[in-house]
């Protein structure tokens, strides 16, 4: 089996975490706002060392000129720049179709203007799809969507945290997906435009974020940087039969509190307490596994290779 190893990073900047945690984003100072564009992108490019990977950029964050410069540097280093929506609205999937199309088009244009290359892939904020959202992605002519995240532990944890925040009177702006996502395929498929988590005949491919069979434990950055090492190894081994590994990370997986993350956020987002040196060491090790067991590819390239057989 010629295995494909796709590493992708959602470049969510800190204000988006304040929103999802129900915190006031005006507490994010200029230095903290620039941590992703100035620090995280460089750390990832160093880890990739010229290998292809994918960044999912948020259109709105391109108001910071440093973000545009970071994405151009990434593009020169063979990193694909895909769309992670314009406003990163966690309720995007529930908006009217015209509003969804407007948001996606704005993101598309912002990325094209900044990088000079049009994106061909999309990942939804909060991994939440709807028929209207998937159809809007398809209408842009994209080759793939990579939002499906059929992870049971993630789904239950998210439901729990959202419930707790509500009890605390600090409702989160996140949106809980339909439980149908838990029955979505774990491996690449052609979705049904009317039911994105089911098999269908769409022209674009759905490339789910990798989760282990049976346990449905997600093989993502937070698992790699936070869970005991034997769990990381076992989760990776469980994916041995998959043609594509779609390893999803976030920009904050290479940041920690000492980089200047506001303490109020680090208290809520516990992975920011893990020292960055430890995180980088673990990620380097895992990237090493991926790239020795498979060919490093962008998600765009993965969709091209997989499409004929699906
Ligand atoms: Zn995001």
* Ligand 1 center–CA 270 separation, angstroms: 17
* Ligand 1 center–CA 203 separation, angstroms: 25
- pTM of the predicted model as reported, rounded to 2 decimal places: 0.92
Radius of gyration for the alpha carbons in the chain, expressed in angstroms and rounded: 18
pLDDT of residue 1: 60
Give the structural domain span for 106: 4-309
pLDDT of residue 268: 87
Give the DSSP H/E element, type plus range, for residue 223.
Answer: helix 221-226
CA dist., res. 196 & res. 68, Å (int): 31
pLDDT of residue 156: 61
* Ligand 1 center–CA 202 separation, angstroms: 24
Of 149, 82, 93, 161, nearest in space to 117 by CA: 82
CA dist., res. 137 & res. 147, Å (int): 11
* Residue for token pair 């314009």: 86
* Ligand 1 center–CA 237 separation, angstroms: 27
Give the DSSP H/E element, type plus range, for residue 165.
Answer: helix 152-167
* Ligand 1 center–CA 57 separation, angstroms: 9
* Ligand 1 center–CA 146 separation, angstroms: 12
* Ligand 1 center–CA 1 separation, angstroms: 32
CA dist., res. 252 & res. 221, Å (int): 9
Query: E strands within 183-268?
Result: 191-192, 195-199, 205-206, 244-250
Q: Which protein residues have their CB within 5 A of the ion that is ligand 1?
A: 10, 12, 125
* Ligand 1 center–CA 46 separation, angstroms: 22
Token readout for 70 is 């970071």
In sequence order, which residues have a C-beta less than 8 Å from that of residue 292 and are 6 or more positions away?
Answer: none
* Ligand 1 center–CA 89 separation, angstroms: 9
CA dist., res. 156 & res. 84, Å (int): 24
**Phi-psi region at 260: left, alpha or beta (left = phi > 0; alpha = psi -120 to 50):** left
* Ligand 1 center–CA 143 separation, angstroms: 20
* Ligand 1 center–CA 74 separation, angstroms: 18
pLDDT of residue 161: 62
**Pseudo-torsion of CA 259, 262, 267, 273, nearest 10°?**
0
Residue 238 CB-density burial (10 A; 0-12 exposed, 13-18 middle, 19+ buried): middle
In which residue ranges of the chain is pLDDT below 50?
Answer: none
Token readout for 112 is 């094209």
* Ligand 1 center–CA 122 separation, angstroms: 11
Query: How many domains is the chain built from?
Result: 1
**Phi-psi region at 38: left, alpha or beta (left = phi > 0; alpha = psi -120 to 50):** alpha
* Ligand 1 center–CA 54 separation, angstroms: 14
CA dist., res. 282 & res. 296, Å (int): 18
Tell me the helices (H) and strands (E) count for the chain, helix number first: 13, 10
Of 262, 288, 188, 285, nearest in space to 24 by CA: 262
Name 9's bridge partners.
55, 249
Give the DSSP H/E element, type plus range, for residue 83.
Answer: strand 79-83
DSSP letter for 218, please: B
* Ligand 1 center–CA 85 separation, angstroms: 9
* Ligand 1 center–CA 77 separation, angstroms: 22
From residue 180, how far is each of 2, 95, 148, 196, 225 by CA, in Å?
Answer: 31, 19, 11, 10, 28
* Ligand 1 center–CA 281 separation, angstroms: 24
pLDDT of residue 150: 84
Per-residue model confidence as pLDDT tens digits over 199-236: 999 999 999 999 998 888 889 999 999 888 998 999 99
**CATH code assigned at 68:** 3.20.20.370
């Amino acid at each position: 089996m010629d295995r494909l190893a796709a590493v992708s990073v959602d470049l969510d900047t800190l204000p988006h975490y304040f929103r999802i945690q129900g915190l006031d984003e005006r507490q994010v100072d200029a230095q903290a706002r620039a941590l992703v564009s100035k620090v995280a992108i460089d750390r990832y490019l160093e880890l990739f060392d010229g290998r292809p990977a994918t960044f999912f950029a948020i259109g709105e964050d391109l108001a910071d000129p440093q973000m545009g410069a970071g994405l151009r540097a990434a593009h020169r280093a063979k990193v694909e720049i895909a769309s992670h929506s314009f406003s990163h609205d966690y309720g995007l999937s529930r908006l009217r179709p015209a509003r969804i199309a407007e948001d996606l088009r704005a993101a598309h244009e912002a990325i094209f203007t900044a990088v000079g290359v049009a994106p061909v892939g999309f990942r939804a904020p909060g991994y939440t799809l709807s028929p209207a959202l998937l159809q809007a992605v398809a209408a842009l002519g994209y080759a793939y969507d990579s939002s499906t995240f059929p992870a049971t532990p993630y789904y239950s944890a998210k439901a729990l945290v959202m419930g707790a925040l509500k009890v605390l009177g600090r409702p989160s702006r996140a949106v809980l997906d339909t439980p149908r996502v838990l029955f979505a395929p774990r491996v690449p498929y052609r979705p049904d435009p009317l039911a994105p988590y089911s098999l269908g005949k769409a022209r674009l491919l759905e490339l789910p974020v990798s989760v282990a069979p049976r346990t449905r434990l997600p093989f993502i950055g937070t698992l790699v940087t936070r869970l005991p090492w034997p769990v990381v190894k076992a989760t990776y081994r469980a994916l041995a039969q998959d043609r594509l590994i779609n390893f999803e990370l976030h920009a904050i997986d290479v940041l920690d509190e000492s980089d200047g993350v506001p303490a109020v956020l680090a208290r809520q987002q516990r992975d920011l307490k893990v020292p960055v040196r430890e995180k980088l060491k673990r990620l380097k090790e895992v990237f090493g596994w991926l790239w020795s067991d498979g060919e490093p590819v962008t998600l765009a390239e993965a969709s091209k290779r997989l499409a004929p057989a699906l």
